[in-house]
Amino acid sequence: MFGDMMPEVTLKILEYCTGVTALVMWNQKAWAHSEWMQESVDALPLLTELSLNMSSMFFSTTPSFAKLDMAHRITHLEILDGWILWTSTVGIEEMTRLTHLALDLHLWHTCAQHIQKILDHCSALKVVLLQAFCSQSEANDWLEAHGIYDIWIVWTDNSTWIDWDILDRESCNLWDDASEIVAWRHKNDGTY
């Protein structure tokens, strides 16, 4: 569900699509309906993969997944908002089944302690994609300067996005590519 779709339409679609396992919510106009959006998405019993703009579901200065049941169902999470990790973890560390996470990395705003908290608490994580708005060497230098060494972290520039259209196909996607990088690191003793 993208862009200018009216929140009422989104809510109606979610009401009839209870078997959804992967959901892309990039609505920009859901603020007045954010509580209903949270309830509707949280009520999807099979949902395990979520890509969203936070404003699609949260109209708060302190959004958090921690209060939602889906925090214990989601395995793949992509958050498109660049401000995530500036002031909090938005409850990502409470997502007990999270295996794949994609977030933006802004070197001048991202709080390294938030990344470390997520890494420390999300024991099921297999891949963390940090989509950076800088060069790879700048991203690596930033991670190193903040003592963040984790074999699960894969850096990509902001021009690469997850292809949600092919999640159920044999084709390769960004999750698969990142997983292959992590597997290669395991075989090579954590070499970057």
Question: What residue ranges do the domains of the chain occupy?
Answer: 1-59, 61-187
More confident site: 72 or 159: 72
More confident site: 4 or 89: 89
Most confident of 16-30, 110-124, 144-158: 110-124
- Give 119-171 pLDDT, tens digit per residue: 999 999 999 988 877 777 888 888 889 888 777 788 776 555 444 444 444 44
Beta carbons of 64 and 90 less than 8 angstroms apart: yes
For residues 58 and 113, give the distance between their C-alpha atoms in angstroms, rounded to a whole number: 23
- Give 30-39 pLDDT, tens digit per residue: 555 677 788 8
For residues 154 and 177, give the distance between their C-alpha atoms in angstroms, rounded to a whole number: 10
68-85 burial code (b ≥16 CB/10 A, e <16) = bebbebbbbbbbbbbebb
Using pLDDT thresholds of 50, 70 and 90, give the confidence band for residue 172.
Answer: very low
For residues 61 and 19, give the distance between their C-alpha atoms in angstroms, rounded to a whole number: 31
Using pLDDT thresholds of 50, 70 and 90, give the confidence band for residue 61.
Answer: low
76-79 and 2-3: which strand pairing?
unpaired
The helix (H) or strand (E) run that includes residue 51 is: strand 49-52
